[in-house]
């Protein structure tokens, strides 16, 4: 028997065999204990509130371009992306605030 749900334990995974019962307890990979759930810690940018796109200006041609953002990659991100208009590479720096708003800065890649 499983100590935290009282259900049958699967012999290979050590978890309750969900196929035998409709009752289950949701656990997270990053939580050592089921009671150790902290929404602000586990989802620091909120749940679905972070910016997923932003408008930037190419540092080479000056064209305004909308780029996709990935809030799941962390609160601070640095990467290289090519301009969709002139194909020049630029460095993108993204910083997410506590409210999920992204501040995006682009600079020429050769600087």
pLDDT digits (tens, 9 = 90+) for 8-25: 554 545 555 544 454 545
Q: Are 57 and 72 in contact (CB under 8 A)?
A: no
Q: Is residue 47 part of a domain?
A: no
pTM: 0.57
What pLDDT sits at residue 36?
Answer: 61
In-domain check, residue 100: yes
Q: What is the mean pLDDT of the chain?
A: 76
With respect to residue 42, please indicate whether it lies within any of the assigned structural domains: no
Q: Clarify whether residues 57 and 31 are in a common domain.
A: no
Are residues 100 and 62 both part of a single domain?
yes
pLDDT band, very low/low/confident/very high, at 53 (cuts 50, 70, 90): very high
> Are 67 and 92 in the same domain?
yes
Query: Domain for residue 19, yes or no?
Result: yes
Domain count, the chain: 2
DSSP 21: -
| Same domain (yes/no): 32, 65 | no
Query: What range does the domain containing 82 cover?
Result: 53-108
């Amino acid at each position: 028997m499983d100590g935290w749900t009282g259900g049958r334990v699967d012999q290979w995974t050590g978890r309750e065999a969900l196929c035998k019962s409709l009752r289950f307890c949701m656990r997270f990979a990053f939580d050592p204990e089921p009671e150790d759930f902290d929404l602000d810690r586990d989802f620091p940018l909120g749940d679905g509130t972070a910016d997923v796109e932003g408008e930037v200006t190419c540092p080479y041609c000056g064209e305004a371009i909308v780029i996709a953002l990935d809030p799941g990659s962390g609160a601070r991100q640095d990467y290289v992306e090519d301009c969709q208009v002139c194909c020049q590479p630029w460095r993108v720096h993204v910083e997410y605030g506590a409210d999920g708003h992204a501040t995006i800065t682009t600079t020429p890649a050769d600087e």
